[in-house]
Amino acid sequence: GENVEQHPSTLSVQEGDSAVIKCTYSDSASNYFPWYKQELGKRPQLIIDIRSNVGEKKDQRIAVTLNKTAKHFSLHITETQPEDSAVYFCAASKQSSGTYKYIFGTGTRLKVLA
């Protein structure tokens, strides 16, 4: 069945460095790729998303890249700050016969060391 693999499961970086989280998906028909951030004890919240007609999208310090041929997409966080510490989830979704498949990755715990 469809699945989304996410790596790494944990990531520690020094404050100011960049962080990269990668996801691969199995269903080539997937066309929507959001990223969610979940701070400790809080609900997941969307931070950025990309659709399959776009290769890259940026929003200040965060960016997402999509390689449809290779079926992978990545989250890039530059100039990391302590408040970036959280669990990040990728997801892949598609519309199929009136319903959808929205599959989350297993999450990456990012720690930004001051």
Partner 1 sequence: GAGVSQSPSNKVTEKGKDVELRCDPISGHTALYWYRQSLGQGLEFLIYFQGNSAPDKSGLPSDRFSAERTGGSVSTLTIQRTQQEDSAVYLCASSLDSGVDTQYFGPGTRLTVL
- Which residues contact partner 1 by CB under 8 A? 31-32, 34, 36, 42-46, 49, 51, 89, 93-95, 98-107
To partner 1, the closest distance from the beta carbon of 77 in angstroms equals 19
3-class DSSP state of 82: helix
Please check whether residue 18 is in contact with residue 74, taking contact to mean a CB–CB distance below 8 angstroms. Answer: no
- Full DSSP string of 47-102: EEEEETT-SEEEETTEEEEEETTTTEEEEEE-S--GGG-EEEEEEEEEEETTEEEE
Nearer to partner 1, 8 or 16 (CB): 8
Nearer to partner 1, 52 or 78 (CB): 52
To partner 1, the closest distance from the beta carbon of 79 in angstroms equals 25
To partner 1, the closest distance from the beta carbon of 101 in angstroms equals 7
3-class DSSP state of 18: coil
Nearer to partner 1, 14 or 53 (CB): 53
